[in-house]
Chains A and B, each alone.
Chain A
């Protein structure tokens, strides 16, 4: 056996196994649909009508449009009393009215701000704790039972304590929202880290990866899809907790708009707040959905 001479290129070239090479197009790129082992985007592209972008947008808007039409019909036809269900037009009028008084923007802005800060803090802490619990046996033994117990506490149970400790202000509300965002992120990510394919982790170790390097190269990419779904669940829960926080003690925000309108009998504003929560919640979720799609394209 001889050693490789300095600077020599490859000594042996074994041609690809016939029949197992990828089917490529003229420019040498693998032809997705023709490669039997490729379970990639070819499937999505080939399933036609329901995967088209326009179909998705129009199809998704169909049900809300129908609901709006039905709502309009039952209210204008006088099937329900306006004090129980005001018409879409009067809800729109309420929105315009609030906007002209300069209150609508404030309510929306402060609620979005609370959710964004609370969600960011809660999700960040959750990711760190999930890494501790999911990656180390000690973290799992010491932390997991306590966290499971805390998760069982209903959100409203925290409110009296938070108000007592932090007073009625932004801190107590943001903290409540952070608690809300924490648990879905923590639970999803910790479970995903615990179930990263041990074969891949061992392969990483066999090639000298340890600690942070192993986490970066193997465990983190493996759990990224779960991190994203955890974040989306956490964001949805942040909105739930926002309303809980604002219903109880606040002078601004969509939750305040709900309680205030209830006290004044403004059903149109109640509906307006509900519609705004739905729309803004969906929009913020869409931001994460786009990020998720990008990540899945890279890492799945």
Chain B
């Protein structure tokens, strides 16, 4: 991935590699300290899409917040292309589970909130219009968030994150609250956006299908509350085979899906094809 040779004022910086070194995060609770993340060693390659899955309370969103700089780890550090994240980092952008749009601004105004500080007015306006086109909202640019559907609001939220020209795009269950069909469309939209705007994507999701459809790699996290002291957060790293766009009905993915669901502690009633029990010989 080469940096874009461009004279645009809102020049794209290109994707960043993300390194997490022995990251640890604990929270004080009335019942004592609770370790949510521990011994996290992760390396995201520039431009790759990584999905974070794990049971509730395993620290997926917390991990995302560490990378965004909205929260800081108690130990370890996070590097973007080798430089540490201190505070909210202008190289990252977040799209939350809820769109979190400002209700008194139009979609255009909300997307403009994502523009880097000091973007010239004209260039900013052009960039916002371009992003609204990218997410298919050019017709609705002047509407307020309460006038649009959940899917449209979520697309505006994605456009706002992209307006920051992030080297790392952090998505916290961005499609979790959408209906099934809208979610599938949004997943394809995300892939289109990823192809158009080079960025590393870290995606928190509850949906194993979504993780396997979108990601190059899937990180399975553990809920440390149910593990002995000192267990690292990452339970497994799974390389997803094939290139995008993937066949949603891919047989190989079905295997991985079963594996991941087992890892999440869900009974899959799946029988592996290599298993002799699967063949009813006569």
Contact = CB atoms under 8 A, between A and B. Distances in A.
Nearest to A221: B104
Interface in B179-197: 182, 185, 188-189, 192-197
A2 to B, nearest CB: 8
Interface string A61-104: 00000000000000000000000000000000000000000000
Contact of B160 (A16, A207, A300): A207
Interface string B27-55: 00000000000000000000100000000
B147 A30 contact: yes
A12 B116 CA distance: 22
B174 interface: no
Given A1-B198, A17-B185, A22-B140, A10 B146 contact: no
Interface stretch (A32-40, A108-116, A154-162): A32-40
B75 to A, nearest CB: 23
Interface stretch (A198-206, A237-245, A263-271): A198-206
5 contacts: A6-B4, A11-B195, A30-B147, A39-B146, A199-B100
B137 A16 contact: yes
Interface string A215-230: 0011001100000000
Contact of B151 (A20, A30, A300): A20
Given A3-B2, A17-B152, A208-B117, A10 B70 contact: no
Given A10-B133, A12-B196, A37-B147, 7 more contacts: A6-B5, A12-B193, A14-B189, A16-B139, A16-B140, A203-B100, A217-B113
B113 A20 contact: no
Contacts of B185: 14, 17
B130 interface: yes
Nearest to A12: B192
Interface string B1-28: 1111111100010100000000000000
A37 B12 CA distance: 35
Among the interface residues A7, A15, A208, which one has the most CB atoms of the partner chain B within 10 A?
Answer: A208
Interface in A1-50: 1-4, 6-7, 9-17, 20-22, 24, 28, 30, 35, 37-40
A13 B96 contact: no
A208 B136 contact: no
A37 B164 CA distance: 28
Interface residues of B, number: 56
B136 A15 contact: yes
Interface of B: 1-8, 12, 14, 47, 68, 70, 88, 90, 93-94, 96, 98, 100, 102-104, 113-114, 116-117, 130, 133-137, 139-140, 143-144, 146-149, 151-152, 160, 164, 182, 185, 188-189, 192-198
Contacts of A12: 134, 192-193, 195-196
Contact of B134 (A14, A200, A207, A208): A14
Given A17-B151, A207-B113, A217-B102, A202 B70 contact: yes
B196 A4 contact: yes
B102 A200 contact: yes
Which 9 A-B residue pairings sit nearest by Cβ, starting from the closest? A203-B100, A20-B149, A299-B104, A3-B4, A12-B192, A14-B136, A11-B196, A38-B147, A206-B94
Contacts of A53: none
Consensus secondary structure, chain A interface: loop
B50 to A, nearest CB: 15
B162 to A, nearest CB: 12
A137 interface: no
A37 B148 contact: yes
A22 B147 contact: yes
A22 B151 contact: no
B192 A14 contact: yes
B136 A1 contact: no
A37 B147 CA distance: 5
B33 to A, nearest CB: 22
B128 to A, nearest CB: 12
Interface in A137-159: none
Contacts of A300: 103-104
B221 to A, nearest CB: 22
Contacts of A221: 102, 104
B12 A4 contact: yes
A27 to B, nearest CB: 12
Nearest to A14: B136
Nearest to B116: A208
A28 B70 contact: no
Q: Please indicate which of the listed interface residues A20, A40, A222 has the most CB atoms of chain B within 10 Å of its own CB.
A: A20
Centre residue among A4, A200, A204 by max chain B CB count within 10 A: A4
